[in-house]
Amino acid sequence: MCGIIGYFGNRNAAPIILEGLRRLEYRGYDSAGMAIITNNGVKIKKDVGKVDEIHARLNFLEHEGNIAIGHTRWATHGGVTRENAHPHISNNGKIVIVHNGIIENFQEQRKFLTSQGFKFYSQTDTETIPNTIEYHMRRGYDFFEAVKRSLRHLDGQYAIVLIHEDEKKLVAVRKEAPLVIGVGEGEYFVASDIPAFLEHTKNVIFLEEKDMVMIDKDGLKIFNLIKDSFVERPIVSIDWNAEQAKKGEFDHFFMKEIVEQTEVISRIAKLEDGLIKDIADEIRKAKGTYIVACGTAAHASMHGVYLFSRIAKKHINFCIASEFPHFKHFLTPESLVIAVSQSGETADTLAAIRAAKSAGAKVISITNVMGSTLMRESDKSILQRAGPEICVVSTKAYTSQLAILYLLACELAGKLDEGKEKIRELGRYIYYLTSINMRKYLKQLAEKLRYTEHLYLIGRGLQYPTALEAALKIKEVSYIHAEAYAGGELKHGTIALIEHGTPCIVFTSEENEKEIISNAMELKARGAYIIGVGPRNNDVFDFFIKVREAGELNSICQIIPMQILAYQLAILRGCDPDKPRNLAKAVVVK
């Protein structure tokens, strides 16, 4: 949810942290802050608002130093106020922290510290951490030992980065929340996500659960709190590049990532056959396969169920990840759970796979982030290869998930080569779907819809999850109320809401054209304004978006104009498509 970053090296840390905060802003943007160790002690600047607004007011670059930490916040405990913004500092003004996650027993800990004379200046759970460390340091422990002891008293999930004014040291710990280390020449970066430091290094250390990183002038050491000993972790070179994490010629990451789908889909066509075959074999062997995910990844997973049924004649069960633990009773050591998650850090998805593992089931993941918790906790993984997805709203990660699920279904049906050829060909068509002409055409539709309050979407078969995903995109970035239904379902109640002029988007395909057009007519008869998306125009449509027939790949083609429409609506309605209100990338709390 929040984004955290730390730097320890020989350069001035302030500009590095500021740039890192900009890159991490997609993880939370209620407030932001920075702390830097200078020759005159530690200096903290923090406030409510977006990083650049705060920078304009407070000047994050005012102070210089070689050790610093930063934070972008998505509030959990305590309102969006300056006091609750991070970094937080201990009572003696020496220990400074940034934190992502939740300290579950913070109320008890706060009570205890208050009884010991500590004062609290925010409503956050975080403030208990530096003060617990100060408490242990007062009793004679050094900084590292005090951090270790403090964490024994703090329950919950966290990624934290700490600095100490006098000690010129940086300590970082992860427990059920993301944290990666970047290793440069005589310098180290610690962050929630790789794009935060990608400009400086591609050499990364993925931390394991309860790893505590200690960095000082002698270098970096990792102590594992579970093993209670020092451990070695490999340095991995990653293949993302800094350009992928920048907006380039685009005004927003949202549009950049929509356009990147041509490339992403072409990359999926090059996935190694061995990997697809291996995962398909696991599905063949399993006695019961369940696919779990949240949000957009859940829509991709639902698609998967249709694809496995149609192409591979195989029944796969789908469940929203947060509900999956309620079905754990079905699981046996012969079950297989496939978890789909762009970030690989979504708390509900992780809880689902942990429930599966506790029943002895095998876990396979489809994720975009190498080294993510999901990947590390899975028995096997397929990496999505979509490149960093910076926009809070998922686009290219979604279509890459669809393409991977399609290839798995093809392999199960013995048609992997054919499937790959179709995906390859699709890549070229997506280039057209994201063209400037298409964007202009969809802007005309956005102009018609910009003042609408309610919008309905229908689709049948594969177009049903497409309708769900299109509705989510529109809601997230334009704040228009959009609701999707299976074509046959709307008339069972919700049709009561259709009035003169209510916009309804209807997804069609050659296969279900007759039935869905009948549903469109039912809506038109009640005065709806009908927008058709599909291969063939029809008299019932007031506006038509032509997308060529692509059979089982219709879903990938048809969602792209909807992503663009959502973008255009956001712009016309004055919303920031990269940072929708109340949202955060990687929802690491349940």
Site residues, ligand F6R (CB under 6 A): 294-297, 341-343, 346, 349, 393-394, 472, 476, 586-587
CB nearer to ligand F6R: give 100 or 349: 349
What 3-state class would DSSP assign to 139? coil
CB nearer to ligand F6R: give 342 or 434: 342
Read off the tokens for 293.
């995910």
CB nearer to ligand F6R: give 222 or 370: 370
585 is catalytic: yes
For 256-325, where are the E strands, in sequence order?
289-293, 317-320
Question: Which DSSP helix (H) or strand (E) runs through 199?
Answer: none
CB nearer to ligand F6R: give 100 or 346: 346
Q: How far is the CB of 182 from ligand F6R (least distance, A)?
A: 21
**Amino acid of residue 198:** L
CA angle 416, 421, 424 (to 5 degrees): 125
CB nearer to ligand F6R: give 475 or 536: 475
Half-sphere exposure of 18 toward its Cβ, with a 13 Å CA cutoff?
Answer: 18
Q: Whose CA is closest to 36, among 57, 10, 56, 66?
A: 66
CB nearer to ligand F6R: give 72 or 394: 394
Half-sphere exposure of 171 toward its Cβ, with a 13 Å CA cutoff?
Answer: 25
For strands 317-320 and 289-293, give the pairing. parallel
Q: Is the distance from CB of 509 to CB of 535 less than 8 angstroms?
A: yes
Distances (CA, A) of 508 to 286, 351, 548: 34, 36, 10
Distances (CA, A) of 417 to 121, 284, 400, 403, 422: 62, 19, 18, 14, 9
Q: Which of 2, 294, 410, 557 is catalytic?
A: 2
Residue 68 dihedral angles phi and psi, to the nearest 5°: -155, 160
Q: How far is the CB of 350 from ligand F6R (least distance, A)?
A: 9
Residue with tokens 């039912």: 522
Q: How far is the CB of 339 from ligand F6R (least distance, A)?
A: 8
Q: Which of 46, 169, 396, 585 is catalytic?
A: 585
CB nearer to ligand F6R: give 207 or 586: 586
Instruction: Give first-to-last CA distance, the chain, whole Å.
Output: 11
Query: What secondary structure letter does DSSP report for 530?
Result: E
Q: How far is the CB of 18 from ligand F6R (least distance, A)?
A: 26
Q: How far is the CB of 294 from ligand F6R (least distance, A)?
A: 4
Q: How far is the CB of 260 from ligand F6R (least distance, A)?
A: 15
Q: How far is the CB of 276 from ligand F6R (least distance, A)?
A: 20
Residue 461 dihedral angles phi and psi, to the nearest 5°: 60, -130
Distance CA(571)–CA(31), nearest Å, equals 23
Residue nearest to ligand F6R (CB): 295
Q: Whose CA is closest to 131, among 144, 152, 147, 148?
A: 147
CB nearer to ligand F6R: give 85 or 472: 472
What 3-state class would DSSP assign to 436? helix
Q: Is the distance from CB of 44 to CB of 35 less than 8 angstroms?
A: yes
Report the residue count for the chain: 590
Distance CA(385)–CA(86), nearest Å, equals 33
Q: How far is the CB of 587 from ligand F6R (least distance, A)?
A: 5
Q: How far is the CB of 346 from ligand F6R (least distance, A)?
A: 3
Give the torsion sign (CA, 508, 513, 516, 520): positive
Distance CA(21)–CA(2), nearest Å, equals 10
Residues paired with 365 in a beta bridge: 339, 381
Using CB atoms within 10 Å of the CB of residue 246, give its burial: 0 to 12 exposed, 13 to 18 middle, 19+ buried.
middle
Q: Is the distance from CB of 42 to CB of 36 less than 8 angstroms?
A: yes
Q: Whose CA is closest to 504, among 467, 529, 479, 481?
A: 529
Q: How far is the CB of 295 from ligand F6R (least distance, A)?
A: 2
CB nearer to ligand F6R: give 344 or 487: 344
Q: How far is the CB of 110 from ligand F6R (least distance, A)?
A: 30
Residues paired with 203 in a beta bridge: 237
Distances (CA, A) of 266 to 9, 271, 306, 331, 376: 39, 9, 23, 36, 26
2 is catalytic: yes
CB nearer to ligand F6R: give 393 or 402: 393
Active-site residues: which are they? Answer: 2, 585
